[in-house]
């Protein structure tokens, strides 16, 4: 089968799960107004038989800043039974290590995002599956994260950012995320973000502490290390590199119940 399968787009009412009358009714009852519905993008399932450069962009020849031990190099990203992203020693003008980052060319709004992956081990090393948009694209910083910290691979970080402010929660896992493949997902809708692990709901946010993201975002994966963020990520373990994360599938659909998931 092809590496990426585009799926039929549901009608607006099916995607939203709520009518315009419902929305106005919420406001009339004094509840928190729902943000504008962000939808219309074609669902897809990507199994990374290759890297389709018309769909994905691979970061190359730059870095995010001194808080990372690595820069981004396209040579650190390849496909072989899935997408591999490797963090390895490589002295450059920016850093002493290189790693990889991949992002969708297009942006996506409300819907269910899912990936099947094995995270990279090692203290100070972070595997990320997330959506993001920010100042580089003349947009406010909006982001939704699934992050696995190599120092504590039996937990998952569920985080979202709106306007650069964040809400982060540590979720316990019943397994070591660096030892096998598991499916991680988040269902971002107008009134909530729900995080799932292997199909089970593990966390939900409704915007009580911070308004939910309200900008279309790019789908991204990255693997990176840090020395300066040691209180969060742990002391960077040089002996753990080279190390890699492997992603065998990523999917986007209108909602968790819309079908078109990595498990199908």
Q: How many CA atoms lie within 13 A of 153 on its CB side?
A: 20
pLDDT bracket for residue 15 (50, 70, 90): very low
Judge whether 158 lies within some domain. yes
Domain that holds residue 144: 4-258
Q: Is 147 a catalytic residue?
A: yes
b/e map of 44-78 (b: 16 or more CB within 10 Å)? bbbbbeebeeeebbbbeeebeeeebbbbbbbebbb
Give me the pLDDT at residue 255, please. Answer: 86
Helix (H) or strand (E) holding 25: helix 20-28
Judge whether 112 lies within some domain. yes
Q: Is 143 a catalytic residue?
A: yes
Indicate which residue of 41, 114, 147, 244 is catalytic.
147
Indicate which residue of 46, 101, 114, 143 is catalytic.
143
Judge whether 264 lies within some domain. no
Judge whether 263 lies within some domain. no
Strands 182-189 and 192-197: antiparallel
Tens of pLDDT, residue by residue over 78-107, are 999 999 999 999 999 999 999 999 999 999
Judge whether 134 lies within some domain. yes
pLDDT bracket for residue 31 (50, 70, 90): low
Phi, psi of 35 (to 5 degrees): -70, 170
Entry pTM: 0.88
Cis peptide before 245 (omega within 30 of 0): no
pLDDT bracket for residue 34 (50, 70, 90): confident
Torsional sign, CA 255, 257, 259, 262: positive
Point out which residues pair with 58 in neighbouring strands. 102
Q: Give the CA angle between residues 48, 84, 54 to the nearest 5°.
A: 40
Strand ranges (E), 10-136? 44-46, 56-58, 70-72, 77-79, 83-89, 97-99, 101-104, 111-118, 125-133
C-alpha distance across the termini of the chain, in Å: 13
- DSSP annotation of 22 reads H
Q: CB of 203 within 8 A of CB of 196?
A: no
Judge whether 55 lies within some domain. yes
Residue 10 has pLDDT above 60, yes or no: no
What's the CATH number where 39 sits?
2.60.120.200
Instruction: Look at the chain and report how many structural domains it folds into.
Output: 1
Task: Specify the 3-state DSSP secondary structure of 230.
Answer: helix
Judge whether 75 lies within some domain. yes
Judge whether 236 lies within some domain. yes
Average pLDDT (18-36) is 48
């Amino acid at each position: 089968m092809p590496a990426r399968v585009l799926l039929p787009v549901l009608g607006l009412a099916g995607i939203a799960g709520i009518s315009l009358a419902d929305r106005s009714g919420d406001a009339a009852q004094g509840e928190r107004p729902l943000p504008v519905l962000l939808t219309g993008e074609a669902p897809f399932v990507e199994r990374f038989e290759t890297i389709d450069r018309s769909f994905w962009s691979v970061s190359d020849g730059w870095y995010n800043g001194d808080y990372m031990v690595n820069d981004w190099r396209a040579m650190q990203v390849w496909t072989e039974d899935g997408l591999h992203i490797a963090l390895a020693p490589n002295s450059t003008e920016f850093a002493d290590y290189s790693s990889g980052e991949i992002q969708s060319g297009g942006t996506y709004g409300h819907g269910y995002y899912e990936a099947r992956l094995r995270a990279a081990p090692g203290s100070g090393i972070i595997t990320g599956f997330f959506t993001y948009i920010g100042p580089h694209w003349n947009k406010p910083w909006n982001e939704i994260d699934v992050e696995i910290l190599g120092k504590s691979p039996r937990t998952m970080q569920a985080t979202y950012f709106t306007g650069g402010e964040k809400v982060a929660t540590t979720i316990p896992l019943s397994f070591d995320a660096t030892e096998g493949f598991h499916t991680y997902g988040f269902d971002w809708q107008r009134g909530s973000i729900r995080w799932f692990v292997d199909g089970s709901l593990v966390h939900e946010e409704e915007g009580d502490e911070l308004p939910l993201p309200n900008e279309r975002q790019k789908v991204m994966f990255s693997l990176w290390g840090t020395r300066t963020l040691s209180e969060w990520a742990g002391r960077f373990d040089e002996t753990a590199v080279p190390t890699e994360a492997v992603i065998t599938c990523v999917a986007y659909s209108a909602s968790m119940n819309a079908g078109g998931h990595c498990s199908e």
